[in-house]
Amino acid sequence: MDFMERLVERINDIPELPIQCRMGYLGTGESFVVYPLPGSQVVMEYMDGTKDQELNYELAMRSKSQSSIHNTLWLVQNELESLKVLESQDGSFQFEELIITNKPFINQLDDQGWFVFLLDVQAKITVFKESE
């Protein structure tokens, strides 16, 4: 399923996004990432193997500039809040909606001056059974 790839691609298409998003975890320098969170679930499973799912993701940004993080995550949050269409390239899912479950918030400030802010979202999608 290519949902996470399409989500990252959509985020990176946001005009004037100051840093590119990638899949994975935060690096040691300035970085902006998305990764899955626990608690995702199948809401409904159909006879043909198709599943309605709720998938939890977190967007995290690490920087020494609190204002850069703030501006980036609010820009992304505003864009994702109005997201209506997200197309699968391999036909593996159908997008229903994306819900912002936590607005951008500070998670960490270390002794070297690095801030980490988070933004949590939940995607509601239908995942089609892979052909055998």
Read off the pTM: 0.93
User: From residue 25, how far is each of 30, 38, 73, 107 by CA, in Å?
Assistant: 12, 15, 16, 14
Domain annotation covers residue 91: yes
Domain annotation covers residue 76: yes
**57 within 8 A of 123, measured Cβ to Cβ:** yes
- Average pLDDT score over the chain: 95
pLDDT digits (tens, 9 = 90+) for 69-107: 999 999 999 999 999 999 999 999 999 999 999 999 999
Place 130 in a pLDDT band, splitting at 50, 70 and 90: confident
Domain annotation covers residue 132: no
**66 within 8 A of 24, measured Cβ to Cβ:** no
Range of the domain at 25: 3-127
Cβ-Cβ contacts under 8 Å for 71 (sequence gap 6 or more) = 18
**117 within 8 A of 60, measured Cβ to Cβ:** yes
CATH number for the domain spanning 122: value is 3.30.2000.10
Provide the pLDDT for residue 132.
60
Number of domains in the chain: 1
